[in-house]
Amino acid sequence: GGSISHLNARSVTIGREAALLKATTGFRSRTSHTFRLARIGPGWIIGAIEGASGLRNPGIHIAVTDCRLHHLSFSSVQELERTNPLLVLRLFKMMSHIMSRRQELTIEQFATLHSIMTSPASTKPLSRLTMGAIQSAMSYQ
């Protein structure tokens, strides 16, 4: 972990995750194209389309680490609308709150990305001292 090569895109963690995904070939065929949609954390909502509109969610989500997944199909939400409308209202309010917070975080990241993309390029390579400081800052997070 003390060398500059540790800053490569395929770090130890990503390599471990890729190996795990490659080992789970039962979920995909050789002709399918899998890709990382996003790195998500606790509280994220995926595929809210099905629960809100009845459209089928075409995605297959594979977790790299252990997680707890709750799936509410459209038919179960429809049933809850009939039997307990207050619960469904609270569910949609919670989903709206979580999704709007995630959107705010994404907007903040766009501002950072924009400043990176529009900043002038460095005229000379970064020194080893600077690269070491970057590595220390990244490993601290």
Q: What is the predicted pLDDT for the residue at 141?
A: 58
Q: Tens of pLDDT along 25-73?
A: 544 444 455 656 566 666 666 656 665 666 666 666 677 777 777 777 7
Q: Tens of pLDDT along 95-139?
A: 888 888 888 888 888 888 888 888 887 777 778 888 888 888 887
Q: Against a cut of 0.95, is the pTM above it?
A: no
Q: Tens of pLDDT along 68-86?
A: 777 777 788 889 999 999 9
In terms of Cβ atoms closer than 10 Å to its own Cβ (0-12, 13-18, 19+), residue 83 is exposed
Given 3-state DSSP classes, what are the helix, strand and coil percentages for the chain, each rounded to the nearest 5? 60, 0, 40
Alpha-carbon span 103 to 101, nearest angstrom: 5
